[in-house]
Chain A
Amino acid sequence: MSNEAQVRRRIVQAAGVTAATFGLLAVAGCAGGGDSGESGGDVTIEFAQWWEPELPDGEFRALMDEFEKQNPGIKVELISGPYAATKEQLFAGAASRTMPDVVGLDGAWVSDFASQGVITDLSALMEEAGYDDSELASQVQVDGSTYMIPVVNFVYPMFTNDALLADAGVKAPPKNRTEFAEAAAAVTDLGDDTSGWILPLSLETPNGIQNDVMSWTWASGGTMLADGGPDVTNDDVASTVDFVQGLWDDGVIAPGSFTMKEQDKVEEFTNGRVGMMIDSLAHINLIREANPDLEFSVSAVPAEDGYEGERGIPYASWGIGVAESSEHPEEAFKLIEFLMSQETNAELSSIAGAFPGNKTSTPDFVADDELFADAFEIYQAGYPANEFTGLPVAEQLMRLFGEQFQVLLDGGQTTEEMLDKTQAAWEAEF
């Protein structure tokens, strides 16, 4: 072998050994993970949420900068991603006990996380910090202890396409179920592919059961629970199911319900093909941007005929909690205190287009925007109602209801059979 060949061989050998070493180091590096800690005397807390990507660029980071300014020595590292990615990340973190210090929470996850013992008891933290919780609009509790504080709430009123309703001879948004059914039929009779109402029942994202079906029960002061357990065979839920099935049989619901998702619903409404929908207030700006000419308004979800009591309004929250494994619970709670303070909560609500979790906060848009002002009035006149919040495997409960509901609407069973099967399926999950 020539000298040149030997040198080349040595170089290849060295490259091989180096590659092997780096490969092993990289693999070993995978096992370790970054975690929050202290550097240069500062405490860094991690905050995982899906809120930052849903807010205007830089706005949420600016709030964190303000927090860091007010709390020297505490840094906040934001771990931001879309809702679904955040959910999967948190569930993986819960399994490995490596959750970030502060976590954005959906009410549907709280029961599972609390029962696993991966999120901490905020009641105890509040007591330790001497925090006055009287300003909090609501708290999500499991077994009497708070595990999540809703930071902002997105309510789900009824949206009406005013131009379509006017064309159909409907002068005002319906207030009860009979008026709603008549208005929906009148809009459908306009033809040209218009429908009176739209109902997303996709099993991939089954939140249509919560927002578009069970909202009718809550709007009439009804409930789907009894003593914290499932009670879907009661008259409140049966009446809702019968009402929706009546609308289905009358053909006033937009086609494609069984695989329709929330975004499809908003799209159909935005395109002016649907007279009414129940949807999040968070979509007002999206609808305005997509179709500036659309004339629409918001009102309370119609109640049962003759019902005069307070109306429950479905809502979804950006909730917050603290990981049980956090090494810095005090600092983590300081961040929660900051976000729930009157001024910050009002600011966050304003940029999110949501209603504040602090009762004393008033977002800017209430004064500036007529639609939001109307919604705020509805919100204050009723009470936030979402019985799925805090239930175990809440999404699965919605899916189980949705599966049986689809069979009913498809003519495969009676209302009684549907509710009995749902009740049995829910009891198995509880």
Chain B
Amino acid sequence: MQDVIVAPAPQAATPEPPRRRRPLSRTAEPYGFLAPTLALMFVLMIIPVVLVVGYSFMDNVILNATPELVGVDNFVTVLTDSVFLTATGNTLFFTVGSVAAHLVIGLCFAMLLNSPLIGNIPRAIFRALYILPWLFTAAVIAVLWRMLLAPNGVINYLLSTDVEWLASPALALGTVTFINIWAGYPFFMVSLLAGLQGVPAQLHEAATVDGASAWQRFWNVTIPQLRPIIISLTLLDLIWTSQQFALIWMTTGGGPVNVTEMLSTYTYKLAFSRYEFSLASTSAVLVLLMSMVLAFFYVRHQRAGD
């Protein structure tokens, strides 16, 4: 059988309708809406960041009327300063310890509040109690814990001890980390609670039918469902905690000696105690670079989620 090919009849070319040019006002409209935000970001973020990066390559700016370029001298000075290295180590301990504890405590409390074993009224009471630390500012938290942990304070009274929690070189770093853990876990708790409430009950039911134990349900159902939230929260908390200043400054000021010196307090002292604004800018740029690494992973994770 012969194939019959039906060719389409030639059609007269239809002229395309003339393209209407968008009026200028409509083209400019989205830029108009964006302009205030862009202008504010430029003035409040871009300019300061560029200035600080520029300062880090000059000799002492601000105090020096005619600062000159010194290349990477400031970076060499800061990176070879033993206090900077101590501050980096302390910041690492403080940040990793805080974030890990925030995650564990936040998850435990979130699961507790999500448990069907708790009635509505106790749940509301616990929720209010657990979220309390999040409502205080860093200044209030610092004053509160300084009083509680004072040698004559409530904690020592309850423990019948006279430990110098914040003034002892052996305990100070652990103590400020503990305070930061207390202050920050509610953020994880609230976010993870929202995540837990979004986990479909059918998944748990199916796992139960398949004979999974409570631990297996937690590890193979709950955690995978929460993974995107956990990664986002962890990255954000790493960025925020590594920049913690107010709490450290108001509880120990970086002491005793320099056992609680963080990158933030080190930078502050360079700027406002030694008036070495170029070295302070250098330290700030180094902190910015470290934060950018974390921010890179955060943005990449968010994009992958999208």
Q: Which residues of A contact B (CB under 8 A)?
A: 13, 16-17, 19-20, 22-24, 26-27, 30, 88, 91, 94-95, 112, 115-117, 193, 201-205, 254-260, 264, 268, 273, 393, 395-396, 399, 402-403, 406-407, 410, 412, 429
> Is the beta-carbon distance between B39 and A258 smaller than 8 angstroms?
no
* B253 CB contacts on chain A under 8 angstroms: 202-205, 259
A202 (CB) vs chain B CBs: closest residue: B253
Contact-residue bracket for chain B? 35 or more
> Is the beta-carbon distance between A27 and B164 smaller than 8 angstroms?
no
The answer to whether A256 and B166 touch (CB under 8 A), given A20-B33, A403-B258, is yes
The answer to whether A88 and B256 touch (CB under 8 A), given A193-B152, A260-B167, is no
> Is the beta-carbon distance between A258 and B274 smaller than 8 angstroms?
no
Give 8 pairs: A residue, B residue, CB < 8 Å, sorted on A. Answer: A23-B35, A27-B40, A202-B252, A203-B255, A204-B249, A255-B151, A256-B164, A259-B256
> Is the beta-carbon distance between A393 and B274 smaller than 8 angstroms?
yes
The answer to whether A259 and B166 touch (CB under 8 A), given A13-B25, A22-B36, A204-B250, is yes
> Is the beta-carbon distance between A410 and B274 smaller than 8 angstroms?
no
Which residue of the partner chain, among B29, B62, B169, B275, contacts A13 with CB atoms under 8 Å? B29
> Is the beta-carbon distance between B258 and A20 smaller than 8 angstroms?
no
Interchain CA distance A26-B40 in the complex, whole Å: 9
Interface centre among A13, A255, A273, A429 (most CB of B within 10 A): A255
Confirm or deny: B269 has a beta carbon within 8 angstroms of a beta carbon on chain A.
Answer: yes
Confirm or deny: B202 has a beta carbon within 8 angstroms of a beta carbon on chain A.
Answer: no
Contact with A along B222-256 (1 / 0, CB 8 A): 00000000000000000000000000011111111
CB distance from B52 to the nearest CB of A (A): 13
The answer to whether A16 and B275 touch (CB under 8 A), given A112-B63, A259-B256, is no
> Is the beta-carbon distance between B35 and A24 smaller than 8 angstroms?
yes
Contact with A along B165-191 (1 / 0, CB 8 A): 011110010000000000000000000
Confirm or deny: B273 has a beta carbon within 8 angstroms of a beta carbon on chain A.
Answer: yes
> Is the beta-carbon distance between B252 and A259 smaller than 8 angstroms?
yes
Interface centre among A24, A273, A429 (most CB of B within 10 A): A24
* A268 CB contacts on chain B under 8 angstroms: 152
> Is the beta-carbon distance between A23 and B255 smaller than 8 angstroms?
no
**For the complex of A and B, 8 pairs with smallest distance between CB atoms:** A204-B253, A23-B36, A258-B256, A255-B151, A203-B255, A20-B35, A258-B167, A95-B62
Confirm or deny: B292 has a beta carbon within 8 angstroms of a beta carbon on chain A.
Answer: no
Contact with A along B254-294 (1 / 0, CB 8 A): 11111000000000010011110100000000000000000
19 other contacts beyond A20-B36, A91-B272, A193-B152, with CB at 8 A cut-off? A13-B32, A20-B33, A23-B39, A24-B35, A27-B40, A88-B272, A94-B62, A202-B253, A203-B252, A204-B252, A204-B254, A255-B162, A258-B168, A258-B172, A259-B252, A268-B152, A396-B273, A402-B255, A410-B256
Confirm or deny: B43 has a beta carbon within 8 angstroms of a beta carbon on chain A.
Answer: yes
The answer to whether A403 and B164 touch (CB under 8 A), given A20-B35, A254-B151, is no
CB distance from B103 to the nearest CB of A (A): 29
Confirm or deny: B150 has a beta carbon within 8 angstroms of a beta carbon on chain A.
Answer: yes
A12 (CB) vs chain B CBs: closest residue: B29
Q: Which residues of B contact A (CB under 8 A)?
A: 25, 29, 32-33, 35-37, 39-40, 43, 62-63, 65, 146, 150-152, 162, 164, 166-169, 172, 249-258, 269, 272-275, 277
* B250 CB contacts on chain A under 8 angstroms: 204
Interchain CA distance A224-B254 in the complex, whole Å: 26
The answer to whether A116 and B43 touch (CB under 8 A), given A255-B167, A396-B274, is no
> Is the beta-carbon distance between A406 and B256 smaller than 8 angstroms?
yes
The answer to whether A16 and B33 touch (CB under 8 A), given A116-B63, A395-B273, is yes
* A259 CB contacts on chain B under 8 angstroms: 146, 166-167, 172, 251-253, 255-256
Interchain CA distance A117-B64 in the complex, whole Å: 10
CB distance from A413 to the nearest CB of B (A): 11
> Is the beta-carbon distance between A258 and B164 smaller than 8 angstroms?
yes
Which residue of the partner chain, among B29, B40, B151, B257, contacts A23 with CB atoms under 8 Å? B40
CB distance from A406 to the nearest CB of B (A): 5
* B152 CB contacts on chain A under 8 angstroms: 193, 255, 268, 273
* B256 CB contacts on chain A under 8 angstroms: 203, 258-259, 406, 410
A10 (CB) vs chain B CBs: closest residue: B25
Interchain CA distance A30-B43 in the complex, whole Å: 9
> Is the beta-carbon distance between B32 and A20 smaller than 8 angstroms?
yes
The answer to whether A203 and B43 touch (CB under 8 A), given A259-B172, A393-B275, is no
Interchain CA distance A55-B255 in the complex, whole Å: 33
Interchain CA distance A278-B274 in the complex, whole Å: 27
> Is the beta-carbon distance between A406 and B257 smaller than 8 angstroms?
yes
CB distance from B26 to the nearest CB of A (A): 8
Interchain CA distance A399-B169 in the complex, whole Å: 16
CB distance from B180 to the nearest CB of A (A): 16
* B65 CB contacts on chain A under 8 angstroms: 116-117
Interchain CA distance A13-B33 in the complex, whole Å: 9
CB distance from B1 to the nearest CB of A (A): 56
CB distance from B112 to the nearest CB of A (A): 35
Interchain CA distance A112-B273 in the complex, whole Å: 11
Interchain CA distance A170-B304 in the complex, whole Å: 75
CB distance from A117 to the nearest CB of B (A): 8
> Is the beta-carbon distance between A399 and B33 smaller than 8 angstroms?
no
CB distance from A337 to the nearest CB of B (A): 31
